[in-house]
Amino acid sequence: MAETTRNSSRLIRAQDAVWLLLFLLLAMVSERDASIYIMLAGLAAVQVLESKIPALSATRGRVLALAIKYGLCYLLIGYTGGVASAYWLLLLLPVVSGATAFGMAGTVAVVLLAAATYSSFLSFVNWAQFDLDAPGLIWRMVFLGMVGNLAHMLAEDLRTQTREAQRTAAHLAAANEQIQEAMEALRRSDRLAALGQLSAGLAHELRNPLGTIRGSAEMLQRNLSGENEVAREVAGFIAEEVDRANSLITRFLQFARPLEVKRERADLSQTLDRAVAMAQREAPGIAIHRNYAPEIAPFPFDAELLERVFYNLILNAAQASPEGGAVTVKTRALDGFAEICVIDRGSGIEHKHLETIFNPFFTTKPNGVGLGLAIVAKIVDEHGGKITVESDPGKGSIFRVVLPMGSKEQSSS
């Protein structure tokens, strides 16, 4: 319903009613002649429909509309007395339309064409019976030029204001996007801090009872007789599960503990090569292609931490790819930043998960914990960088890491 209303407002405008009223008044004061009425109706139709027909909005369409207006004006002025006709003022219609649609050169052209159209009727004058009012004729030519120039100036001012408004809107949209990104980063940092504190407290509380359970299981294994094989196996299961829980707690503590980023000048390509080699051992059935930008010189970063970042991203991409698939690791320099892209053509990520994929404890893997990408995002943030993801289900994903090629202090100043 709202769309129908908007379409109707575009088709029926207030200025259209004003045009029709003006042409109606002009017809009422004109001679009662069907030919005059037809030409006035044609001019009214072109003037009203010009802005509603898409084909007339292009340059050729505007030229065609101007040609029709000049033709109708020429017929109407010639039919009603030529140079002496009171309808010469209707030449303002094509003059104003051309001046607002085209530049200064177009304005001069439409004014000269209007003057030529009007002065052409001098060739039909019977000079024996006609007294030429030269000043009046010149005044009319000057008047057409003044109106055309004024219309051009107003249209140019409007176009300038429109461009400035568009630039302002673009700047506001960019600023709003940056604010949204900053707010999202702040919310993620708050969630990381709160969950980190909770994880640290919970991990320390669980360590003691797990140690007791592990010790009890070992003691049980040593004191059981050899004949009670089932009990010994169950005690072994208990010890294994305790070890797995301890490993999980260790990851929680790693996540909760503040990172100590040790920046030293290192080679990004070498760090990526180590991460690729580690991931290749985990996923030997996936080809990993490297496309490094040679212009990225060594810069300060924590090579050990970023190696973990790239290893996680490459391994995730390999695990998402089908057997025999390929993963591409690509770098490029971007105005003081290094961009690293990990690209796969695997299963992709559902759009509803893209907003939460870097949140801690979020995972789509059956046996996943949901800390891998959260730790990756934390390490990238600590380096003053940014990580984003683009993905389409069934088509693959692109994880993009952007790192400043200077110290954190330099990048933030």
Whether residue 119 is found in the same domain as residue 227: no
Q: Is 41 within the bounds of a domain? A: yes
Q: Is 155 within the bounds of a domain? A: no
The full length of the chain comes to: 413
Q: How many distinct helices (H) and strands (E) make up the chain?
A: 12, 7
Structure tokens at 368: 């996943």
Q: Which of 223, 238, 256 is the last residue of a domain?
A: 256
Successive 10-residue mean pLDDT values, the chain, 413 residues? 47 78 86 88 88 81 89 90 86 89 88 89 75 80 90 90 92 88 74 67 73 79 70 78 76 68 92 94 92 93 93 92 92 92 90 77 62 84 90 91 73 40
Q: Beta-carbon neighbour count of residue 115 at 10 Å?
A: 19
Q: Is 159 within the bounds of a domain? A: no
Per-residue model confidence (pLDDT) at position 26: 86
| Amino acid making up residue 57 | S
Per-residue model confidence (pLDDT) at position 266: 94
Whether residue 23 is found in the same domain as residue 113: yes
Whether residue 268 is found in the same domain as residue 399: yes
The CATH number of the domain holding residue 408 is: 3.30.565.10
Q: Are strands 287-291 and 326-334 parallel, antiparallel or unpaired?
A: parallel
Q: Is 165 within the bounds of a domain? A: no
Per-residue model confidence (pLDDT) at position 190: 72
Q: Which of 227, 256, 285 is the last residue of a domain?
A: 256
How many domains does the chain contain in total?
A: 3
Per-residue model confidence (pLDDT) at position 370: 63
Q: Which of 256, 280, 299 is the last residue of a domain?
A: 256
Per-residue model confidence (pLDDT) at position 272: 95
Structure tokens at 281: 């051992």
Distance CA 126, CA 367 (A): 102
Q: Is 347 within the bounds of a domain? A: yes
Distance CA 18, CA 271 (A): 72
How far from chain centre, in Å, is Cα 327?
Answer: 27
- 301-339 pLDDT, tens per residue? 999 999 999 999 999 999 989 989 999 999 999 888 999
120: containing domain: 2-124
Q: Give SS3 for 132.
A: coil
Distance CA 139, CA 145 (A): 10
Whether residue 96 is found in the same domain as residue 210: no
Q: Is 245 exposed, middle or buried (CB count within 10 Å of its CB: 0-12, 13-18, 19+)? A: middle
Q: Is 321 exposed, middle or buried (CB count within 10 Å of its CB: 0-12, 13-18, 19+)? A: buried
Structure tokens at 54: 């898409």
Whether residue 220 is found in the same domain as residue 237: yes
The whole-chain average pLDDT of the chain stands at: 83
Whether residue 343 is found in the same domain as residue 275: yes
Where b means 16+ CB within 10 Å and e means fewer, 262-278 reads eeeebebeebbbebbee
313 and 399 Cβ atoms separated by less than 8 Å? yes
The CATH number of the domain holding residue 195 is: 1.10.287.130
268 and 340 Cβ atoms separated by less than 8 Å? yes
Q: Tell me the torsion sign for CA atoms 91, 96, 97, 99.
A: positive
Q: Is 219 within the bounds of a domain? A: yes
Per-residue model confidence (pLDDT) at position 399: 94
Quote the strand ranges of 53-126, DSSP E: none
- 242-301 pLDDT, tens per residue? 877 777 777 666 666 666 788 999 999 999 999 999 999 988 889 999 999 999 999 999
Distance CA 183, CA 62 (A): 48
DSSP structural state of residue 129? T
Whether residue 288 is found in the same domain as residue 219: no
Whether residue 12 is found in the same domain as residue 47: yes
